[in-house]
Chains A and B, each alone.
Chain A
């Protein structure tokens, strides 16, 4: 752990610099200087990327039957869906 004030900097190795740019009530603004080949992302983004890759492996037609029983079919939601016609087009039959 390390305690820093706004404007102060932390060094990680020779090539990574972290500046505490601004301290708000519940958020901290942090500046990061790192080599181009070091990706800097928020941890949540990495989690989402991994989830998306896992989700892309699902087999829509084979898996959906098992999923349905687990979802509440709230009438309110169904109404919303049928009113807003994003998915007007129906998929072609599978057979």
Chain B
């Protein structure tokens, strides 16, 4: 089983078959193509997307449905093809794909990019950051403060 020494999580072991491949990389990180998803029980529902080419590169993400349960995924033809979903006109979250929103932590509070979710083909683990066409979703969707303190 291959392993990789990460900056944030130390050495991780993973199955080769669990490697997520972004054939075009991610905007701003075009050369970073191979990632693994790391989930920790106590950090649910967060998913950490760790680069296998850069030990220090790890995105904090959350399933878009945990941010907006009514999230509606739309993908351009180009993006569907990049993720090997050319024949799937309307990919369904949970059935055909995983859709993760990238979280940025700012001084003003964390935001999630719902305009361009990471869409992972569940069959092949080919993935693309899909900039959704004609979308009203924000690239900086604020994660609101919890209404009451969580005990």
Interface residues of A (CB under 8 A from B): 26, 42, 44-45, 47-61, 63-64, 66-74, 76-78, 80-81, 84, 86-92, 94
In the complex, the answer to whether B65 meets A94 with C-beta atoms within 8 Å is no
Q: Please measure, in the bound complex, the distance between the C-alpha atom of A40 and the C-alpha atom of B45, giving whole angstroms.
A: 37
Q: Please measure, in the bound complex, the distance between the C-alpha atom of A88 and the C-alpha atom of B41, giving whole angstroms.
A: 11
Q: Please measure, in the bound complex, the distance between the C-alpha atom of A56 and the C-alpha atom of B60, giving whole angstroms.
A: 8
- Residue in A closest to B150 when the chains form the complex, CB atoms: A69
- Give the shortest distance, in Å, between A41 (CB) and chain B (any CB): 9
In the complex, the answer to whether A56 meets B59 with C-beta atoms within 8 Å is yes
* Chain B residues bordering chain A, tally (CB within 8 A): 62
Question: Given the complex, which residues of B lie within 8 Å of A81, measured CB to CB?
Answer: 39, 44-45, 47, 63
Question: Given the complex, which residues of A lie within 8 Å of B143, measured CB to CB?
Answer: 67, 70-71
**With A42-B131, A68-B43, A90-B38: A74-B69 Cβ-Cβ less than 8 Å:** yes
Question: Given the complex, which residues of B lie within 8 Å of A80, measured CB to CB?
Answer: 63, 65, 93-94
Q: List 14 A-B contacts (CB under 8 A).
A: A44-B131, A48-B27, A48-B113, A51-B139, A56-B29, A58-B59, A67-B62, A69-B146, A73-B45, A80-B65, A81-B39, A87-B39, A89-B14, A94-B9
